Structure 1
Amino acid sequence: MPHESVDEKDLELINALQLTPRASWAQLGRALALDPVTVARRWQRLTEAGLAWVTCVVGPSLHSEFCMAYIEIECVPDRLDDTATALSAEPQVRYVHHLTGLYGLLAVAALRTPAEVSGYLRGLVGRLPGVRAYRAEMRTVGYSEPSRWRLRSLERTQQRALEADRAPSATVGGARVDAVDRELYRLLHEDGRMSYAELTERAGISEPTARRRVKRLLAHRLLRLRCEMAQSLSGWPDSAVLWASVAPQHLEATARSLTAVPDVRLCCALTGERNLLLMVWLRSLGDLPRLEATITERSRHLTIVDRAACLHTVKQMGRLLDSEGRSIGHVPPDVEVFPNI
């Protein structure tokens, strides 16, 4: 499916699913002024082409229950592809980015404890044949994550129509996670819009149980659904990573202010001297200096100390991506980072 065949209604549909990932075809049809059957057919066409998909990630209520390691890797030049492929096959690795600069790969891994991060770095990353050197930092606070990034294709009236159908959130906390919940996480990670009938069959539970469990996991923010798309289709085809240094007493306020910058997809605090990381999507790499100026103007306490262009995102939250950002494969998640609380 060439990009030329994707029209404004397709982009509106993706935007709608960014807002309400499990909305019914009827709800989506009302918001987009389309027949529900047409909406379903459009979505099937997009997903089969790898241009858009809905997945599931561990929600913010559990972010303190595991560790995120940001690992920069210097590779032997002719082994970079092999190293990226090996890392992408690992269920603990959520992202693999090929970057400009000395450290040609940036991998993001989720593990349960700092000791597990240590073992992972020494036992896997450090022993990959193509790895010449690596350095790693731990995420301390996540301020903004990619699931909050939106296309801007919908009119405000369409957004309101979808928001009116959204179920209210329950009080956060108090929920426990068991083996059934982990299986639902695995299945929704594969397809966040998987029907309750299929969830019932594959998880070996009744449909009322599947409905109740999924709604509870989402309402308590134990899981979060997100609609992703091929970056080349988004209108922001280029991306970059920025590392900044901020005085600790100003870090919180600075990071919170940067989450309001539309091009910022990810903002998180890290250990180390470069204690703030930003992942940005750009309409062109030529916009990077302008964006850096915007960022530095927002806080006199921030200094950008390093930057790299992203040449290719190889893996993104379990999806293997081609050079255009299309989904070409799926790696099941490590459900053990979805703990019993």
Structure 2
Amino acid sequence: MTIALDEVDRALIHALHVDGRAPFTKIGDVLGVSTQTVARRYRRLRAEASLRVVGLPDPQRAGQAEWMVRLTATPHTAQDVAHALARRADTAWIKLMSGGTEICVNVSTAAASDHSLLLRDIPRTASITAVSAHQVLHRYFGGPAAWLGRACALDPAQVAALTPAHDGAGKPLTGEDEPLMAALQRDGRASLAELAAATGWSPATVARRLADLQAGGTMFFDLEIDPATLGATTHALLWMSVAPAHSDEVARELATHAELALVAATTGPANLVAHALCADAAALHRYLTERLGALEAIRSLETAPVLRTIKAAASR
């Protein structure tokens, strides 16, 4: 059962979309409500709508190789395989698709040569009957800029007031950052004292490192929430084949569509992939036929319904 959201709830979700670590006092000032109201609404959304802020590395800026892997498993084993994959640190999100026998998993590797999941672990799993791996070449939308369906409650001035500064200067992740990133994946709003305890650093050192990584775009704070709470009950992955001469133009157009939470260029027969979130099946049909249908450069389209998200952006 989904919870009913009012204007304050939606504004808070939008505020956390803009800056997941914004202090409740600042959010309250921008929304025109008390700090206590913000804190109370946040706790309710965490408990009843699975809301969670997570800190994640940007794969492109962090020097990671990112893959979209499609697996087909034998009947009655797909969920077990998906849950096993969810326990791995190198998987970012996992979706059970189509008839319940197909799994799509996002895999990030620390280096381009580290493909243990693709080359060793998956081939050893007898219940997997088919595998196709597609390297993500470029993200046009998704990650630091996520689904616009949750970002429609604040006006431009409020968004500007909450937007953190970014200088664009790369601050690479190092091995010393692993405890910090692990703690932020568990709770992106963990206090400086909690992060200091997890890393062994002082709170001041944690604050400086967070500022460096976030300002350079090496890491970002994402917001997880059950999309059904915001009215999106029908999800699908869209695999599109677009003529190379038009793929950049089409992807940039798709990145403006409020129905999409991800747009990326990949290797393989389908060179663009998108994740659609729609109110219902009829809304998805209208999106496919009216908006995507108007883009003549899309030569073919495969729609893979998402039945269940097994793992979201980070390990729980």
> TM-score, normalising length from structure 2?
0.92
Q: Which moved more, 1:275-284 or 1:48-57?
A: 48-57
Given the superposition, is the C-alpha separation of residues 114 and 176 from structure 1 closer, same or farther in structure 2, using an over 3 Å criterion? closer
Shift of 1:7: 3.6
Structure 1 residue aligned with 2:108: 110
1:3 counterpart SS class:
coil
- Whole-angstrom CA distance in 1 between matches of 2:285 and 2:81: 31
Is this contact kept in 1: 2:11–2:154, CA < 8 A?
no
Structure 1 residue aligned with 2:266: 270
**What is the letter of the counterpart of residue 80 of structure 2?**
D
Structure 1 residue aligned with 2:16: 17
Q: Which moved more, 1:260-269 or 1:294-303?
A: 294-303
Given the superposition, is the C-alpha separation of residues 224 and 4 from structure 1 closer, same or farther in structure 2, using an over 3 Å criterion? closer
Structure 1 residue aligned with 2:184: 188
Unaligned ranges ≥5, structure 2: none
1:216-261 deviation digits (Å, cap 9, x = unpaired): 1100001011112112212112110111111111111111111011
- Whole-angstrom CA distance in 2 between matches of 1:167 and 1:56: 14
1:132 is aligned to 2:159:
no
> TM-score, normalising length from structure 1?
0.85
Structure 1 residue aligned with 2:38: 39
Given the superposition, is the C-alpha separation of residues 135 and 178 from structure 1 closer, same or farther in structure 2, using an over 3 Å criterion? closer
Is this contact kept in 2: 1:240–1:279, CA < 8 A?
yes
Pick the aligned partner of 2:71 from 38, 59, 73.
73
Is this contact kept in 2: 1:258–1:298, CA < 8 A?
no
1:21 counterpart SS class:
coil
1:163 is aligned to 2:152:
no
- Whole-angstrom CA distance in 2 between matches of 1:81 and 1:139: 25
- Whole-angstrom CA distance in 2 between matches of 1:171 and 1:62: 10
Given the superposition, is the C-alpha separation of residues 272 and 170 from structure 1 closer, same or farther in structure 2, using an over 3 Å criterion? same
Given the superposition, is the C-alpha separation of residues 308 and 177 from structure 1 closer, same or farther in structure 2, using an over 3 Å criterion? closer
Shift of 1:129: 3.5
> 1:250-329 counterparts in 2 under 5 A?
250-319=246-315
Pick the aligned partner of 1:86 from 84, 97, 102.
84
Percent of pairs with identical residues: 24
Pick the aligned partner of 2:142 from 122, 145, 152.
145
Structure 1 residue aligned with 2:216: 220
User: How many residues are aligned here?
Assistant: 314
Structure 2 residue aligned with 1:323: none
- Whole-angstrom CA distance in 2 between matches of 1:140 and 1:162: 30
Shift of 1:102: 8.4
Structure 2 residue aligned with 1:237: 233
Given the superposition, is the C-alpha separation of residues 231 and 262 from structure 1 closer, same or farther in structure 2, using an over 3 Å criterion? same
Is this contact kept in 2: 1:263–1:280, CA < 8 A?
yes
Is this contact kept in 2: 1:74–1:103, CA < 8 A?
yes
1:58 is aligned to 2:57:
yes
Unaligned ranges ≥5, structure 1: 320-329, 331-341
Given the superposition, is the C-alpha separation of residues 197 and 187 from structure 1 closer, same or farther in structure 2, using an over 3 Å criterion? same
2:179 counterpart SS class:
helix
Q: Which moved more, 1:97-106 or 1:307-316?
A: 97-106
1:76-102 deviation digits (Å, cap 9, x = unpaired): 101111111111111111111111158
**What is the letter of the counterpart of residue 261 of structure 2?**
R
